[in-house]
Amino acid sequence: MGQQGRRRDFGEFSAKLEKHIEKLPDYAVRAQEKLQKVQKYFPPADQAGGKPAPPRPRPNPLQRPPVRRPDVAATFSTMANQVPAFAEARAKWDRWNHPAAKHERRKRRTSRAMTLWILLTILCGVLAVSAGLGWMSAAGAPMMPQAIMAFAGAVVFGTFGVRSGLKLRELKRTQLPTAPAGPPPLPPAGSAAREPMERLAECEASLGELLRQLSVPSSVGTVPVSEVSVADAGQTATEAAAALRGLAGRIQAIERGRNSAPAREQAALDAAVGKLREQLDDGLEGYRGLVAAAGHTVAASSDGLVTSKQALTDATDRLAGLAMALRELS
């Protein structure tokens, strides 16, 4: 009986399996229709013009995510640039480590050492002469141990003095390589002179490129503006930039004094800073006028126009007068 029941169950299972096998084409058609509906709303990456995204790795629950530590050096450097005391100390440190400053300190040390050796040589020579004369007068001998030691000291110290003199001569003849001058340091972030000095640096870079273009011969073979006019404009711009930076230095000095002044005096110092800031903006506006005139001259140089050249000359004259007034203020 048991064997017949098992055979009957197996026969029913075989009949059901055959029915599902017969319905496999229907299942495939239904799956294809559903896939087409899905692709209608969500096209694959190949049809959308992109590449199939690689499978994302599964996160490991046992592994801790990496902790991003802040850049302490960059943070400290940013904070140091914003604090006036740190910025001033950093500027002093840079001046101390400058190659020219190191060379001057080396020359001073060598000069002092040479002076010391010369004095010791003279002292030993005097001792040697006095000891030798004293012994000759007493016993008639030409030399004695004290005179010999003094004479030896004079020779040794004289040798050191000669070496120091030669070294000092070599240091004075040494010419340091002229490193390209970097941009001057900007005022602190909270200073009223920070924004004008940033704009001045941009104007200086633009004017330098424009003046270089004016110095290059055109396609005809002639220079758009004479070299004297270009040199005059560059020199005037340099003087004006120095005057503007001097005015910015005055603003920073007043701001440092305002931070240390009593509360009742801070309003007057703020008013002084505002007045100097207006003068700084006026000077920067004149500098930008020179940049604009140089730009118009470069643009019109190909047509041989003269009006832009005259505008450059006028802007140079105006900036020269403005620089003179700023120098008197600073």
- pLDDT (mean) for 183-194: 83
pLDDT higher than threshold 80 for residue 249: yes
Q: How confident is the model at residue 122 (pLDDT cuts 50, 70, 90)?
A: very high
- pLDDT (mean) for 121-144: 70
d(Cα 310, Cα 216) in Å, to the nearest integer?
19
Q: Where are the domains of the chain?
A: 94-173, 194-329
User: What is the per-residue pLDDT for 91?
Assistant: 73
Question: How far is residue 155 from each of residues 110, 118, 164, 290, measured CA to CA in Å?
Answer: 19, 11, 14, 67
d(Cα 241, Cα 125) in Å, to the nearest integer?
59
Residue with the bigger pLDDT between 249 and 139: it is: 249
pLDDT higher than threshold 50 for residue 2: no
Name the average pLDDT for the chain: 75
pLDDT higher than threshold 70 for residue 23: yes
Q: How confident is the model at residue 330 (pLDDT cuts 50, 70, 90)?
A: low
Helix (H) / strand (E) element for 326: namely: helix 307-329
User: What is the per-residue pLDDT for 152?
Assistant: 86
